[in-house]
Amino acid sequence: MSHQATAIAHSNIALIKYWGKRDEARMLPMNGSLSLTLDAFYTRTRVRFFPELGEDHVRLDGRALEGEAARKVSRFLDRVRALKGHEWRAEVDSYNQVPTGAGLASSASAFAALAGAASRAIGLELSPRELSILARKGSGSACRSIFAGFALWQAGTDDQSSYARPVPASNLDDLVMLVVVVNAGHKGLSSREGMRRTVATSPFYPAWVEHAERDLERMRIAVLEGDFTRIGTLAESSAMRMHATMLSAAPPFCYWEAGSLLAMNLVRQLRDEGHECYFTMDAGPNVKIIAREATLPRLRAALGEHFGEEALITARPGPGLRIEDAEAPECR
């Protein structure tokens, strides 16, 4: 007999970035961050626990995961099993509506969905805060994908104080994010390895942490007050500072491609012309543009001349974690 649940979680894009850990084992960040969950990118994951199964089986988009990727999922499931006190092994089927490893937060949606489905399937009833803490242990940014819209991940001081929480927004119902897919392929250097190198070698890194914590509070207030200009300015500055730490690492590295620079320059030109928009970038070449609905047609027209319509994805504030098709064991 199996015990199963399916969960859907959406990717989030950080406006104030998280870059670097002070405790890798517990996934505790150097600084807090604030993100926007998006409706366009998500992961749907089904977890089925079988008391008689000998080992975990993990499939992503219909293909069996092997090696370290599969072991990472099993280690996460070990945390869920420990919470319940069961040794049951699982079959995991996960489908990504977001390119994996391309800097579009696929790990955030993946581990948020896995946390929701696995915990419910094994019979745990976790609060949103508890789910956020659990998801964080798979991928740091996954703790923010538990929540709809804007979410703030407080760095905390230990395992139980590092989690995300929702941030209410004012007058931002027309906010959109246009994603420019410069390259949907897997990036050469993972975020995790990039963070390690930056923390260990960048002389700019201490200043990054100091500015990030200060800007986090400014962004929280800007979201509360619905100050779109302040949100965009802070988000663009946070992204540029984060990438500056990478350029100053030893050896230096950069996720940007020629198309990344083109998109950023186009955003600046449009802003100079009176079309208010701002860009942000994560650990990948793809550019995310923050704008309002009224600006979207002009934005798509300008970017479409260079990238094509198929490379432009419009996203809006998305929902939090949803759990469905649950058939869990009775708690004993």
Distance separating the N- and C-terminal Cα atoms of the chain: 17
pTM above 0.85, yes or no: yes
Confidence of residue 330 (pLDDT cuts 50, 70, 90): very low
- What's the chain's average pLDDT? 93
**Is domain 175-315 in CATH 3.30.465.10, yes or no?**
no
| pLDDT at position 104 | 60
3-class secondary-structure state, position 299: helix
Which residues are within 8 A (CB) of 312 and not within 5 positions of it... i.e. 6 or more apart? 178, 179, 180, 181, 300, 303, 304
3-class secondary-structure state, position 198: helix
Residues 185-221 have pLDDT tens digits of 888 888 889 999 999 999 999 999 999 999 999 999 9
Q: Is the predicted pLDDT of residue 150 greater than 90, yes or no?
A: yes
What residue ranges do the domains of the chain occupy?
3-168, 175-315
Cα 314 from Cα 312, distance rounded (Å) = 7
Per DSSP, helices labelled H in the chain are 67-84, 106-121, 128-136, 191-201, 205-225, 228-247, 258-272, 296-307
- Side chain identity at residue 54, one-letter code: G
Q: Which CATH number fits domain 3-168: 3.30.230.10, 3.40.50.261, 3.30.830.10, 3.30.420.10?
A: 3.30.230.10
The reply to whether 175-315 shares the fold of 3-168 is no
Residues 43-61 have pLDDT tens digits of 999 999 998 899 999 999 9
Any idea which residue has 């509070």 for tokens?
217
Tell me, rounded to whole angstroms, the distance of Cα 13 from its chain centroid. 6
> What is the bridge-based pairing of β-strands 150-154 and 175-180?
unpaired
Residues facing 291 on adjacent strands:
176
| pLDDT at position 105 | 56
